[in-house]
Every structure is written in structure tokens, then in C-alpha cells.
């Protein structure tokens, strides 16, 4: 996708030709110009295209190929089973649990992080003492490595750990749960941790978007007598639209592919019971730990297909204006 795009864009700009030559000379000059342009395009994109094909497209092809075999990863795959691995996956209740958990994380992230991020971003966009410090603090969880955050929360959330102690000291001992062990609770615990980690990213994106909102518009609205809230509602937030949609897109794709945090924070037993599995952890559990390599590849292909379709739909319907001509829209 990227490479096709790169090729198209410079070609669109190949229009200016030096004036003042006679026809033949102009033609040959233009031809030389075009040729040079193509050399540049090929020279500049070939390394990227080769790497992309070798390390993205070819492995993807292999994944599809291996997914058609019953293969334990010992010796080359020989037992062709067609689409059996795919039907097995959709018959496994744990895989369906993983799908459900991915859906919870996708919608949970959008519905919880979005409003929080918007509110905080609007607040942090106002001028007040210590604003820089707040901005930094909000962003800290996002900067930390996912595995570090996962282990940290795992320690905080162990039975009688810091979180439990804190709740008890606040007189809220009734809320104490088996955060990571209760099969009904664990996915919500993980969603909370993910929110804590990623809301900073949404805030930073929105703050960047806010800095692009022209002051004149806000001043004009203020002169017209609009309140702060009215300005946000009718001027700022509509202008933030592209930023919000891009964040939604990134958040959705990230949530579908989520692996590290779930793997590190949740407990293997709870994960394998389906309570905290996602498609990606299910893939590793089955591909490597149960040594079902063909089956694992099938799960990888399913994960890819779901992410790909979701991405396409999102771009087609929600991002159309923002990235016009870049990916799915027609180039003008």
C-alpha cells in the first residue's frame, strides 16, 4: 500500500516543463525528464519494496500456506488439511472468548479513553500554572515499555497487594476483588490498565490537533459572545475531527492486535481458560505452547483478516475526507 502510494505521488507532480524550447527539443527534454524521474523513483523505492516483499508479503504468503497443514513444527509440513484449521478455530470456545475479549478492548478503549482524553486535552489546552508538568505526567504511562507496565500492575494487583491495601485503607474494602484471578473480573482489570497506559497517547494526539485550531476562530467566537463551553462544542471539537478519527483508527488496530500487556499481566491459567485471552495470545499459546504450528498460522491469518477488513472499512467510511486520495479514495 505504502509503496504504491509513493510511486503515484511524484508522478502526479510531473507537469512543469521548461518553456521557450522548440517542439522537438521540448519533447526530448520532457522525455529525459520523465526518464530521470522514473530512475529516481525506482532507485529510491526498490530497497523499500524489496524489504517489504521479503519481510512482509512473503511471510504472509507462508503463513497462509502453512495454515493449510496439520503441522507440529517438527520436520516440514506434509499433511495437507485444507481449511480444517480455520473451522477448528471457530469451533473452539476459547478462541470465541478471545474474539469477545478483543471486541471488549476495542470498544472499551474507544468509549472510555476517547471522552477522558478529550476532556483532559481541552483542559490542558488552557493556560494555567504548571501546565507543562501536567502534560508530562499524563504522557508518562505511554512512554513506559508495555512489559514494564504489565509487570508493575501485576505486582500492584496481586492478592493483598498495593491496590487491595489502598482500597482497604480508604474504607472501600468491599471493592477488593481477585483482580487477576476472577474469571469474570480479569478482562475489565486489564481494560483499566490499558486505559491507564494509552489514554496519554490520545491526549497528546488531541493536544497536537488543538494546536492547529486557529486562534482567530476562537477569538471571533469569543467576541460574538460564545462561552468557553460553546467555543469547544461548536468550534474546537469539530476542527479536531480528523485527529479524533485518526486516534480511533490507531486505537482500534492496536486493540485488535494487543498482545504484550495481556501476556505479561494476566495469569497463564486464566488466559488459557479464555477469561483474558486475545487473538494474539491465543495464537502464541496454541502455536508455540501446544506446538500446533499449522493451527497457529491459521489463527494469525484470521487475526490479519479481521484487522485488515476493519482497517479498510474504517478508512472507507470514517477517514475518507481526512486522507482523501491517499489509500482507498480515488486520486484526483
Partner 1 sequence: MATKQRRSAVLALLMTGVLVVAGCSGGGEEAAPQSELYKDPVTLTWWHNASQDGPGKTYWEKVAKDFSALHSTVKIEIEAIETNQLQRTRLPAALLSSDPPDIFQAWGGGEMTEQVEADYLKDITDQTKTEVGNIGSAAEIWQVKGKQYGLPYRMGIEGIWYNKDMFAAAGIAAPPTTFEELNAAVTKLKATNVIPIAVGAGDKWPAAHWWYNMALRACSVDALKKASAEKNFDDPCFVKAGQDLKSFIDTKPFQPNFIATPGQNDPTSANGMLANGKAAMELMGDWNRGTLDTVTTDKAKLASFLGWFPVPAIAGSPGDPKAALGGGDGFSCAKNAPAECVEFLKYLVSPEVQKGYAETGTGLPVAKGAEAGVKDPALKSILDATTGASYVQLWLDTAYGSTVGNAMNDAIVAIFAGNGTPEKVVSAMKAAASK
Compare residues 183 and 327 and give the one whose CB is closer to partner 1.
183
Compare residues 18 and 268 and give the one whose CB is closer to partner 1.
268
As a whole number of angstroms, the distance between CA 135 and CA 303 comes to 35
C-alpha 265: how far from chain center = 20
Residue 80 touches partner 1, criterion: CB under 8 A:
no
Terminal-to-terminal C-alpha distance of the chain: 17
Identify the residue among 39, 62, 80, 90 touching partner 1 (CB under 8 A).
62
Residue 171 touches partner 1, criterion: CB under 8 A:
no
Identify the residue among 99, 118, 121, 180 touching partner 1 (CB under 8 A).
180
With contact defined as beta carbons under 8 Å apart, do 262 and 320 qualify? no
Residue 326 touches partner 1, criterion: CB under 8 A:
no
Residue 290 touches partner 1, criterion: CB under 8 A:
yes
Mark residues 216-255: x for contact with partner 1 by CB under 8 A, - for none. ----------------------------------------
Residue 291 touches partner 1, criterion: CB under 8 A:
yes
**What secondary structure does DSSP assign to 37-95, as a single string?**
HHHHHHHHHHHHHHHHIIIIIHHHHHHHHHTTEE--SSSS--EE-TTHHHHHHHH-HHH
Identify the residue among 45, 125, 158, 328 touching partner 1 (CB under 8 A).
158
Residue 289 touches partner 1, criterion: CB under 8 A:
yes
The Cα diameter of the chain in Å comes to 90
Compare residues 272 and 307 and give the one whose CB is closer to partner 1.
272
Q: Map residue 14 onto helix, strand or coil.
A: coil
Residue 175 touches partner 1, criterion: CB under 8 A:
no
Q: Specify whether the backbone of 263 is left (phi greater than 0), alpha (psi in -120 to 50) or beta.
A: alpha
Compare residues 7 and 183 and give the one whose CB is closer to partner 1.
183
Name residues whose C-beta falls within 8 Å of residue 132's C-beta, 6 or more positions apart in sequence: none
Closest contact distance (angstroms) between CB of 285 and partner 1 is 8
Compare residues 125 and 158 and give the one whose CB is closer to partner 1.
158
Stretch that binds partner 1, among 33-41, 63-71, 118-126, 310-318 (CB under 8 A): 63-71
Residue 181 touches partner 1, criterion: CB under 8 A:
yes
Beta-carbon-side half-sphere exposure of residue 242 (alpha carbons within 13 Å): 11
Residue 66 touches partner 1, criterion: CB under 8 A:
yes
Start-end of H helices in the chain: 2-12, 23-52, 58-66, 84-91, 93-108, 114-124, 131-143, 146-157, 162-169, 186-211, 215-223, 228-231, 237-256, 260-265, 268-272, 279-284, 293-317
- Residues interacting with partner 1, by CB under 8 A? 54-55, 58-59, 62-63, 66, 70, 72-76, 88, 94, 158-159, 178, 180-181, 183, 267-270, 272-273, 285, 288-292, 295, 297
Amino acid at each position: 500500500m505504502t509503496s504504491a502510494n509513493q510511486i503515484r505521488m511524484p508522478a502526479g507532480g510531473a507537469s512543469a516543463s521548461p518553456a521557450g524550447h522548440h517542439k522537438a527539443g521540448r519533447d526530448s527534454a520532457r522525455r529525459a525528464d520523465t526518464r530521470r524521474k522514473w530512475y529516481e523513483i525506482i532507485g529510491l523505492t526498490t530497497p523499500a519494496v524489496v524489504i517489504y516483499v521479503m519481510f512482509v508479503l512473503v511471510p504472509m504468503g507462508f503463513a497462509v500456506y502453512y495454515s493449510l497443514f496439520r503441522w507440529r513444527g517438527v520436520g516440514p509440513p506434509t499433511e495437507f488439511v485444507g481449511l480444517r484449521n480455520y473451522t477448528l478455530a471457530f469451533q473452539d470456545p476459547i478462541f470465541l472468548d478471545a474474539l469477545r475479549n478483543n471486541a471488549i478492548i476495542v470498544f472499551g478503549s474507544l468509549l472510555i479513553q476517547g471522552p477522558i482524553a478529550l476532556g483532559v486535552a481541552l483542559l490542558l489546552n488552557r493556560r494555567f500554572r504548571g501546565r507543562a508538568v501536567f502534560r508530562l505526567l499524563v504522557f508518562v504511562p505511554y512512554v513506559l515499555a508495555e512489559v514494564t507496565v504489565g509487570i508493575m500492575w501485576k505486582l500492584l494487583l496481586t492478592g493483598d497487594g498495593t491496590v487491595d491495601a489502598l482500597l482497604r485503607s480508604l474504607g472501600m474494602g468491599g471493592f477488593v476483588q481477585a483482580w487477576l484471578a476472577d474469571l469474570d473480573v480479569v478482562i475489565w482489570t486489564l481494560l483499566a490498565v490499558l486505559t491507564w497506559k494509552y489514554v496519554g497517547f490520545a491526549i497528546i494526539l488531541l493536544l497536537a490537533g488543538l494546536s492547529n485550531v486557529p486562534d482567530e476562530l476562537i477569538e471571533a467566537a469569543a467576541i460574538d459572545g460564545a462561552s468557553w463551553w460553546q467555543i469547544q462544542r461548536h468550534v474546537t471539537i469539530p476542527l479536531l475531527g480528523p485527529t479524533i478519527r485518526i486516534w480511533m483508527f490507531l486505537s482500534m488496530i492496536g486493540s485488535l492486535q494487543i498482545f504484550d500487556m495481556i501476556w505479561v499481566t494476566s495469569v497463564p491459567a486464566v488466559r488459557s481458560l479464555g477469561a483474558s485471552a486475545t487473538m494474539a495470545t491465543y495464537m502464541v499459546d496454541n502455536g508455540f505452547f501446544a506446538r500446533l504450528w499449522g493451527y497457529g498460522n491459521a489463527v494469525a491469518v484470521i487475526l490479519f483478516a479481521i484487522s485488515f477488513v476493519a482497517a479498510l472499512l474504517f478508512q472507507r467510511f470514517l477517514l475518507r475526507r481526512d486522507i482523501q486520495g491517499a489509500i482507498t479514495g480515488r486520486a484526483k
